[in-house]
Amino acid sequence: MYGMVNQGVREYILKSYGEEVWAKICSDADVQNLEFDRMASYDDSVTYKLVGAISEHTGLSSDDVLRVFGEYWVEFAGRSNFGNLMRLSGSSLVEQLKGLDNMHDRILISMPHLKPPSFELEEGEDGLCQLHYYSEREGLAPMVIGLLYGLANEAGEHVEVKQTAFKSNGEDHDIFEVKLVDHQSDHMTSGHAN
């Protein structure tokens, strides 16, 4: 995994809990790096160990840690050099989801060893879409849910997200049902981790 992901985790913990907690999490995760080079590649196990240590420290499940971080990631990446690539896809959530693979293709120019996920969007009626998520990595579907809420928030839209197919249960890939809702219905997003 590229260092930018781990650096995003670091920034989130520093912002939310402070430097001492970050140092403790790294110690608990047996991770020597207190900082990460955004453009360097790190073994995926580093990220998974950090998530596990954050889970232990906060009492959140690993899935909830990934959801919260996924939502934060949109803001973090938006402030990076890749923020413009995200905005090039469009201003609405649907436009951005359609442009995810193109964005990753552009990122591959700078980060040739990146193994990005792939996304396929099926648009339905009444603001209901199916997002297909293909990844070599295991266990990151909860992060995608957070990303969807984060992207919707950035676009000024509100969504309900429900995972309908699970790679962890033997499916070929993960599928998410994404429903655009109006602001008055926003209270229905009970699965949304803040």
Question: Could you read off the pLDDT of 57-67 as tens digits, one per residue?
Answer: 999 999 999 99
Judge contact between 182 and 158, C-beta under 8 A.
Answer: yes
At 141-173, the pLDDT tens digits run 999 999 999 999 999 999 999 999 999 999 999
Residues 17-23 have a mean pLDDT of 96
Which CATH architecture is the domain 96-188 placed in? Alpha-Beta Complex (3.90)
pLDDT of residue 115: 83
Q: How far apart are the C-alpha atoms of 22 and 16, rounded to whole Å?
A: 10
- pLDDT in the model for residue 189: 43
Angle in degrees, 0-180, between the axes of helices 62-78 and 44-58, rounded to the nearest 10: 110
Tokens of 94: 């649907």
Q: How far is CA 189 from the centre of its chain?
A: 18
Q: What is the mean pLDDT of the chain?
A: 87
Q: Which residue type, as a one-letter code, is found at position 193?
A: A
How do the domains of the chain map onto residue ranges?
Answer: 3-59, 96-188
- The model's pLDDT over 74-122, given as tens digits with 9 standing for 90+, comes to 999 888 776 666 666 678 899 989 988 787 777 777 777 778 899 999 9
Please give the distance of CA 60 from its chain centroid, rounded to a whole number.
17
73 has pLDDT over 80: yes
User: Nearest 5°: phi and psi at 8?
Assistant: -65, -40
β partners of residue 133: 119, 174
What is the tally of helices (H) and strands (E) in the chain?
8, 4
The average pLDDT across 127-154 equals 94
pLDDT at position 88: 66
| For residue 190, pLDDT beyond 50 | no
> Rounded to the nearest 5°, which phi and psi values hold at 153?
-60, -45
